[in-house]
Amino acid sequence: MPNTFSRLPIMKLSATGNDFLLVDLLKPAHRELWKKEWSKKPRATWVREWCHRQEGLGADGMVFLEKDKELDFAWDFYNSDGSHAEMCGNAARAVSLYAGQALKKSKLQFRSIVGPVNAKISALKKNAGQVEVRLPKIAENEWNQLIEWKGAKLNYDFVRAGVPHAVVRVPNLEERAQLREFALEIKRQPSFIKHGTNVTFVRLLSNHKVGSLTFERGVEDFTLSCGTGAIASAHSVLRGEEDQPVEVQVPGGTLRVVWKDGYPYLSGPAKIVAEMHLCR
């Protein structure tokens, strides 16, 4: 019997190496297809299956675009393990690129768990462009938190940049095995057991230039880029005195973080990679 493919498209997006799947439920035909073909299981189940790197389509997370009465759209965002996340900076940029093309708009505003997100798309070329998003203000920070590890007392900063980040300054970002071990130790701390945390390692390169590497909650591994991690890194290095832009180098490219009126703005490249149709 030949394979039957769903007519509902699944989009693959990327933003500095952070990759995402997207289902566009803004269109009535797509909503009808989702209801008919995929609604018998919870969304989180499909997210886990489709984001799987070997047996699925592969992605760090997945987004469902939905209608909103006031804004351009609302999003329902999931990590690759099926858990909800309050925010994802790179997903916000990638999704805005797609929605901007679909809605034929260069400026957007969409609804998230942590509040409205503004986006501006520029340098658009084919299916790629520069995208800047204004994310919610830093909700919480705690400097110089202590942790004992292998007989030594080490420090990290806690920064809630939409999602929680434990930010650790390190001399280099190359010792991945050791950094992974330390990230897992931080995630085992009592204050993080219930809700978890991202662990972002940052290396100061100059006054307003840093390297950043994040062990992401919900992915449970290092990713090529983390937008909220870039913001948390910049906030930690500047100690809240956000008077100049910060260039953040991540494994997947370069991001720029700047504060305006207390809001962090995250900018960098994003692209639409593919449209796919699943077997059903």
Per-residue pLDDT reduced to its tens digit, 212-221? 999 999 999 9
User: CB under 8 Å to 143, separation ≥6 — which residues?
Assistant: 157, 239
Per-residue pLDDT reduced to its tens digit, 231-277? 999 999 998 777 789 999 999 999 999 999 999 999 999 999 999 99
According to the model, what pLDDT value does residue 95 have? 98
Enter the DSSP assignment of 174. -
Per-residue pLDDT reduced to its tens digit, 27-79? 999 999 999 999 999 999 999 999 999 999 999 999 999 999 999 999 999 99
Residue ranges matching CATH 3.10.310.10 in the chain: 10-134+269-276, 140-261
CATH superfamily of the 140-261 domain: Diaminopimelate Epimerase; Chain A, domain 1 (3.10.310.10)
Rounded to a whole number of angstroms, the distance between the first and last alpha carbons of the chain is 12
Q: Report whether pLDDT(1) > 60.
A: no
Q: Which residues are catalytic?
A: 88, 226
Helix (H, G, I), strand (E, B) or coil at 168: strand
Using CA atoms, how far residue 34 sits from 10, 219, 275, in Å, is 11, 25, 16
- Assigned CATH topology for domain 10-134+269-276: Diaminopimelate Epimerase; Chain A, domain 1 (3.10.310)
Q: How far apart are CA 74 and CA 152, in angstroms?
A: 45
User: What pTM did the predictor assign?
Assistant: 0.95
Contact present, 264 and 134 (Cβ < 8 Å) = yes
Per-residue pLDDT reduced to its tens digit, 113-149? 999 999 999 998 889 999 999 999 998 999 999 998 8
Torsion of CA 147, 160, 178, 81, to 10 degrees: 120
Q: Report whether pLDDT(188) > 90.
A: yes
Instruction: Give the model's confidence band at 2: pLDDT under 50 very low, under 70 low, under 90 confident, else very high.
Output: low
Per-residue pLDDT reduced to its tens digit, 97-106? 999 999 999 9
